[in-house]
Structure 1
Amino acid sequence: MEDYIIKLIFSATISWATTFIIIRKLFSHRSFDFCNRIVSTIHAIFGVCLASLSVQDWRCPVCPLASKSSPWQMKTLAVTVAYMIYDLICCHIGKRVNLDNSVHHLVSIVGIGAGLAHQKCGSEMVAALWITEISSPILHMRELLKEIGYHDTDLNLAVDVLFAFIFSFARMIGGPYLTYVTLTADNPMLIKMMAMGLQLVSIFWFCKIARMVRYKLTKRMTSRKIS
């Protein structure tokens, strides 16, 4: 791995932690999780923008396959792996730890780290970043709305449905295609394992989200019939 990438990961991790501290001071009346989700939202928007800017050919966003990563792709992925390191630590400090979340972070850190070490698969990993983060701002908006008093409202339900739609489109249409091209290209085995692991995690979360949306829609229709 290039020295400048290691330095960028270190400095970006410190930057994400510093951003959290500043937000924590600005929103001292809000919970630890609320402040961390604001940082996560910033990263999601920033990550999608960087990923979009690093696409080499929009006629084929995942091309060239199994190729040497461009400097812009390397920097984009370094900023993201730094965020993953920060967020994994932050989740433990905030006692917001669960198995699926930890697995997601570890798979991402190891997979992106492998891509940075090999300096390869930049197109595939940047596409994976775009697919995984495009629904994240809406995901965090759901929880932020709950904390500021919009739990069980029409607005919260609309955000839930929007999140489910974007997540399903990205993870269950774009995700399988990206997994297929990554597995069939001449990529390192660890990168292929990362692609498969992320897709399996996406399927797991898709099932949970589908059940959540069905439950909320059923609950809302039942409450309206009673009223």
Structure 2
Amino acid sequence: MEDYILKWVVFGVLCWTTVFMLVRSTFPKRSFDFCNRIVSVIHASLAVSLATLSVQDWSCLVCPLASKSSPWQMKTLAVSISYLIYDLICCLFDKHISLDNSVHHMVSIVGIGAGLAYEHCGTEMVASLWITEISSPFLHLRELLKELGYRDTDLNLAADISFAVIFTLARMVGGPYLVYVTLMADNPLLIKAMAMGLQLVSAFWFYKIARMVRYKLAKRRTPSKAD
């Protein structure tokens, strides 16, 4: 790994921590989780933007495969791994630790870290970053709305449905295709293993999201006792 990339990662962790502290001071009455989710929305938006700008061939979004990572791709991945490190540490200070989210973070950190160390398969990894982060703003919006007092409203349901649809298209349509081309290309074994691991985590989350949407829709259709 290039020294400048390591510096980007360290600097990034400090930056994300600073952003969290600024958000925390701006919304002192909001919960720890609320403030952290705002940082997560900022990262997701930035990650998708950087990943989009790093596309080298718009006629083939996942080309070239198994190639040397471009400097822009390396910086994009450095920004995201620094966020993941920050968020993994930050979550340890929260009251509610999510095991599946922690596993997802660790798999992502190892995968991106391997890509940065090999300086290889930047196309596949940036595409994976785009796929995993495109639904994140809606994921966090759902929880932000709840704390703002919009639980069980049409707005919250719209956020739920939007998240479920975008997650499904990205993770369960785009994801398997990306895993397939990653496995077929001449990539390091660790990168292939991380691609499979991330897809398995996505499949588990898809199952939970499908149950959530089914419950929410059934709840909306069930008349209240007052009726």
1:74-223 aligned at under 5 Å gives the runs 74-223=74-223
The residue matched to 1:16 in structure 2 has which SS? helix
Q: Which residue of 2 aligns with 1:73?
A: 73
Q: TM-score w.r.t. structure 2 length?
A: 0.98
Q: Does 2:52 align with 1:48?
A: no
TM superposition outliers: structure 1 runs of 4+ over 6 Å: none
Supply the AA of the counterpart residue of 1:72.
W
Distance 2:87 2:218 in 1: 34
The offset of 1:225, in angstroms, is: 9.6
User: What whole-Å deviation, never above 9, does each CA across 1:57-80 have from its counterpart, x for those lacking one?
Assistant: 111111100000000000000000
Q: Does 2:70 align with 1:60?
A: no
| Structure 1: unaligned runs, 5 residues or longer | none
Calculate the aligned-residue CA RMSD, in Å: 1.1
Distance 2:226 2:43 in 1: 42
User: What whole-Å deviation, never above 9, does each CA across 1:151-185 have from its counterpart, x for those lacking one?
Assistant: 01111111101110000000000000000000010
Q: Which residue of 1 aligns with 2:30?
A: 30
Distance 2:106 2:195 in 1: 13
| Structure 2: unaligned runs, 5 residues or longer | none
User: What whole-Å deviation, never above 9, does each CA across 1:113-165 have from its counterpart, x for those lacking one?
Assistant: 00000000100000000000000000000000000000011111111011100
Q: Closer, same or farther in 2 for the Cα pair 1:225/1:218, shift >3 Å? A: farther
The offset of 1:223, in angstroms, is: 2.5
Distance 1:224 1:45 in 2: 38
Distance 2:224 2:2 in 1: 59
Distance 2:96 2:7 in 1: 28
The residue matched to 1:66 in structure 2 has which SS? coil
Identity %: 71
Distance 2:7 2:155 in 1: 42
The residue matched to 1:211 in structure 2 has which SS? helix
Distance 1:98 1:174 in 2: 25
Distance 1:97 1:106 in 2: 14
The residue matched to 1:93 in structure 2 has which SS? coil
